[in-house]
Amino acid sequence: MLKGLEETAIWTTGRIQAIRDLLQETIEKCRVDLPKVYSRELVELIFRQPYCKIPFLVDAGIARRQTASAYLRELERAGFVTSELVGRERVYMNMPLLEVLKG
């Protein structure tokens, strides 16, 4: 049982470090590639969950609805997120984060 616990702890620690590394890489790349859109709060927001919607940015106080939409479209153009229409709402998914979470 302790061996299983140890293996789980090692796996979890590896996932946490991979997420931290990916977050840092994304912050640096976004700062360079999208200086007009970049804010640390925006990048951290797309890492809180593997998906993001316009209201998330509005609720976080990052931008108003129209600007939030433009920010997410720019993030998509730069390859940081991928969007999909779900019902009447567009959902932006952080695919690299999803891959790390799949492990």
List pLDDT tens digits, range 1-41: 888 889 999 999 999 999 999 999 999 999 999 999 999 99
Q: What is the mean pLDDT of the chain?
A: 95
Domains of the chain: 2-102 (1.10.10.10)
Region 42-47 average pLDDT: 96
What's the pTM value of the predicted model, to 2 decimals? 0.87
- pLDDT exceeds cutoff 80 at 103: no
SS (H, E, C) the chain: CHHHHHHHHHHHHHHHHHHHHHHHHHHHHHHHHCCCCCCHHHHHHHHHCCEECHHHHHHCCCCCHHHHHHHHHHHHHCCCCEEEEECCEEEEECHHHHHHHHC
